[in-house]
Structure 1
Amino acid sequence: MGMRWIYLDHSATTPVDPRVVEAMQPYFTEIYGNSASIHRFGRAAARALEESRRTVAEILGCHPTEVVFTGSGTESDNLALRGVAFAQRRAGRGHHLIVSSVEHHAVLNTARQLEEVFGFEVTYLPVDEYGMVDPDEVGRAIRKDTILISVMYANNEVGTIQPIAEIARIARARGIPFHTDAVQAGGMLDLDVNRLGVDLMTLSAHKFYGPKGVGVLYIRQGTPYLPVITGGGHERGRRAGTVNVAGIVGLATALRLAQESRESENARLRRLRDRLIQGILERVPEARLTGHPTERLPHHASFVFRGINGEELLLALDVEGIAASTGSACTSGRPEPSEVLLAMGLPHEWAVGSLRLTLGKSNTEEDIETVLEVLPRAVARLREMQAIEV
């Protein structure tokens, strides 16, 4: 009998819900037309596309025309920053952006390229020890030439939930478009764009049991935006490229299912998460929880352990049948500590020993107890090996 695997990396990606696979299936083999074609095959695909758009819009509390389908959360972040920045500069409104220092690289690296290649100026907001942005810092960073503010809804590495609505009020009062990367929040938190007050918002299907390779960019009507993927008139001219109808149907189905079960599933995950956090902090010496202790995603537990290498810990857990992450899956494989942990003020000797455990639908109390047996032994063994090498 094979090893029983425990998957605790749901912030990296989630398995596709079988109901989502079922909803997508006809659009691979039966309703396969190009949604831009006028024949019956194209019209059937277009109907599915617009029905999916309405489903997403209902969840976001916006008009369907404000929903743009993309190829990923990364693409959506890129389109948001570049699209608004180029449109604002072309209109002569300025060239200054504000982003937090703990954004996903899809935002940070885009902002850096806008700064280094295209001549924009960027302010990178500091965060506190929990990775949280102070809204007052946002207000102080605003200049006359500020054209966009981007602060993520919830952090992928440490799970901290940002005060988005408060930051949005500050941006709105100054007439500055506000974008939030809500990729980690998609299946977990309220996505009503009016309650949040955002002008642009990014989502990615594979974070809430949908398929990879499809995302959403919400763009509030009237927000300055210049298309940066050019070609045909797809997505009302805002994102060119033949539309991935099957993926979009999957995204809409997955988002609806996630939001329908959000409250009950969040309560279940929160209980498991709290047991995991309590057990690890009790059983592992020199361990710290990273991220905010209460304002954090319900499925997210992240830690640093002094004196070990996070990548080596991942391998040790993998041997024991536990799949986890050191933080951002997009940057795994590097021995250097993450920018997020350093921005939070963690010293190098702690920050290199990071671990992210993110729960999902398949996880049980038995999984938690197994981790609480395996992890302390793994950390102790790595520390012993480190002591011998020294």
Structure 2
Amino acid sequence: MRVGCPREIKNHEYRVGLTPAAVREYVAHGHDVWVETKAGLGIGADDAAYAAAGAKVVATAKDILEKCDMIVKVKEPQPSEWCLLKDGQILYTYLHLAPDPEQTKGLIESGVTAVAYETVTDERGSLPLLAPMSEVAGRLSIQAGAVSLQKANGGRGILLGGVPGVAPGKVTILGGGVVGLHAARMAVGLGADVVILDRSLARLRQLDDLFAGRVHTRYSSLQALEEEVFSADLVIGAVLIPGAAAPKLVTREMLSGMKKGAVIVDVAIDQGGCFETSHATTHSDPTYEIDGVIHYCVANMPGAVPVTSAHALNNATLHHGLALADRGLGALVEDKHLRNGLNVHRGRITNKAVGEALGYQVHSSESVLAVA
């Protein structure tokens, strides 16, 4: 199979879908790999490194998108990319379709088979291809929040860890999953006062045991949510419903009860965000202010640390990527966990959460693959 990796074109996105090490694996499996020139510069991998790994370095993304059988990316295709995709191709990347009707329509019209990293599962019901970027984003959320809290950046002027004789800042984390866990680890490491809200008592017990009293846990009732958001200096949005739009937990009205200069970091923005006032921002212009509350809603947070995040992502995606390259659609038929990653196939939506969010008829992945 001819496998292609174009350079990412989203604002300040420096990650790459295939590292040179990953290219070597595909080549060892007998595949031709095409990589767009300069695709790996953000992680310090030049064209020579890709050529040495066995890739063909090509001049434009157009060559890759039009001529390769399988496209491996990091972020969702942009309009200039999805218009070049075609029936019979496999697209393997993050998609986050539920809050993105334009991309969804573009992929449907292209006829491509689109496999989304964020909905591939494993035998435990976890999301193994989403996890590494959730880990990175969770840790980055505290860094970004700490910087945004500085007075010169519009924040309250709070040092999260405090100093002797001065209380630390308070961090409220909405959601105790992978993002929430890693955000809490960073915040605790800085010495902040941390509380995690979640609706799974089992998960709250796990977190309580893990942090051994260094983090407070609360069941996420409406009252608890208000109390913890209103008293926080930094609020991290870390909720996830796989494939679906994120629930709006914090309303516009609730901002009036928050501290002036408090900061919101909405890690769920890829799925539409869990704050009513959230809209996607970029690394070039990451924050905005509403009702005195600073919002940080960068939709590709891990892109800020591409060396770490690109290698972590490739470690997670390589196994399934090789299966798709080796066996094509047969890999989806044979592996139910990989099949859960199928979101669009030849003009049909196959992910229930996406279909419900955008009003499309949903077809079972088994039925559409049987037709293929």
Q: Report which structure shows greater RCO (CA 8 Å, sep ≥6).
A: 1
If the length of structure 1 is used for normalisation, what is the TM-score? 0.34
Give the structure with the higher percent helix. Answer: 1
If the length of structure 2 is used for normalisation, what is the TM-score? 0.35
